[in-house]
Structure 1
Amino acid sequence: MAPTKAPDSSRRSDRSRRAIHDAALALVTEVGYRRTTIEGIAARAGVGKQTIYRWWPSKAAVLMDAFLDLAGRAAEDAGAGSGDTGESAPGIPDTGDLVADLKLVLRATVDELNDPALAAPTRALTAEGIVDAKLGAEFVHKLLDPQLALYVTRLRAAQEAGDVRADVDPRIALELLIGPLMHRWLLRTLPVTHAYADEIVDYAVGGLAPRT
């Protein structure tokens, strides 16, 4: 008789983690962060709640890990969809037209903010990060900073090309682009649209361009 193959515990753990991630994201989208519980996540994922507590200390930590995993998968999909270009990391395009490039990326951000699957966990983590300093720092370090760094890189390239004043701080300049969008989205005062994103870029770049 052929020997019985031992179960692959690592693959089983990976499946369980993915099931827990998917359950956490689905519940936050369906019932909201407050009504999402560890018990609910465990039941949805088909695991015991002690399994969750073995890997994460709280539902916020579960959601953070799930969102990081979701973002990583989205980045992989974006890279695969871009063709075999040899580039492994996405970034803001540099076509030589700063306004067009920023509008393209900000419109994509609008689409993400209006996607319920992404909006619900983003709102939850943003709100929880205000009261949980450790979670907030992790949210900024792992999720926000890598995205903001792409803007800094593009704006510095624009400075070198003479399209942005040399005295402009790219880190502050990017806040002129992201800040208004997030403010409107978080407060839900008015719709977040492509047209609004275009106006933000026009207003911001108008103030960044060299004075003549």
Structure 2
Amino acid sequence: MPPHRAPDASRRSDRSRRAICDAALSLVGEVGYARTTIEGIAARAGVGKQTIYRWWPSKAAVLMEAFIDMGARQADGAEGGGVPDSGDLAADLRAVLRATVDELNDPAIEAPTRALTAEGVIDPALGAQFVENLLEPQLTLYVTRLRAAQESGEVREDIDPRVALELLIAPLAHRWLLRTLPLTHAYADSVVDHALRGLSARP
């Protein structure tokens, strides 16, 4: 008979962590953040709530890690990465903003994103973590693409890429947060056109 091997505690913990993260995301999507509890997450994940409290101080912290984990898994399964660089800046920006629209309209992503955004306003530490771990890596991708466009002559050299990227993503975030008007591909395309062409009349 093969020798008996003790269970690998690290693998068991990893499975539990993944189950907890998945449970947190699914519950927030189903019942909303306010009605999601540590007890509910534990029950859905099949673990004791003391296990969750041993690893996270709050349900917001659980959701934060779950969302980061989901993003990492999506990135691992995606081809390439970053903002595409086909040589056509307008086309590349339309493609990535359309993908952003699809993500923000996806219930599985929308619910935890809204929850973390709201909690980040109330809890400065969580808000800083949200920006550092979730927003800043995405913003850096825009900066990289815009700088490449400056080098190729598509964008003026005196443009600040950090300001320019806000002209692209802030309108989508504004419409998504306020829910005043539909967030669509057509709107994303118009944001790119307005940002790249500017508002001043040209000769």
TM range (shorter): over 0.9
Give the aligned partner of residue 176 of structure 1.
Answer: 167
**1:18 and 2:4 are equivalent in the alignment:** no
Amino acid of the structure 1 residue aligned with 2:86: T
Deviations 1:52-75 (A, max 9, x none): 000000000000000000000000
Give the aligned partner of residue 87 of structure 1.
Answer: none
Q: CA deviation at 1:179?
A: 0.3
User: What secondary structure is seen at the aligned counterpart in 1 of 2:198?
Assistant: helix
Which residue among 111, 114, 123 is the counterpart of 1:132?
A: 123
Amino acid of the structure 1 residue aligned with 2:22: D
Matches within 5 A, 1:33-72: 33-72=33-72
Q: CA deviation at 1:159?
A: 1.1
Q: CA deviation at 1:207?
A: 2.1
Amino acid of the structure 1 residue aligned with 2:7: P
**1:146 and 2:137 are equivalent in the alignment:** yes
Give the aligned partner of residue 98 of structure 1.
Answer: 89
Amino acid of the structure 1 residue aligned with 2:173: M
Give the aligned partner of residue 156 of structure 2.
Answer: 165
Give the aligned partner of residue 30 of structure 1.
Answer: 30
Deviations 1:136-156 (A, max 9, x none): 000000110000001101111
Q: CA deviation at 1:204?
A: 0.2
Q: TM-score, normalised by structure 1?
A: 0.92
Give structure 1 stretches of 5+ with no counterpart. 83-89
Q: 2:95 & 2:13 partners in 1: Cα distance?
A: 39
Amino acid of the structure 2 residue aligned with 1:45: A
Q: CA deviation at 1:2?
A: 4.1
Q: CA deviation at 1:78?
A: 0.3
Alignment: residue pair count: 202
Give structure 2 stretches of 5+ with no counterpart. none
Q: 2:103 & 2:135 partners in 1: Cα distance?
A: 14
Q: 1:203 & 1:2 partners in 2: Cα distance?
A: 68
Q: 1:12 & 1:97 partners in 2: Cα distance?
A: 47
Q: 1:60 & 1:3 partners in 2: Cα distance?
A: 43
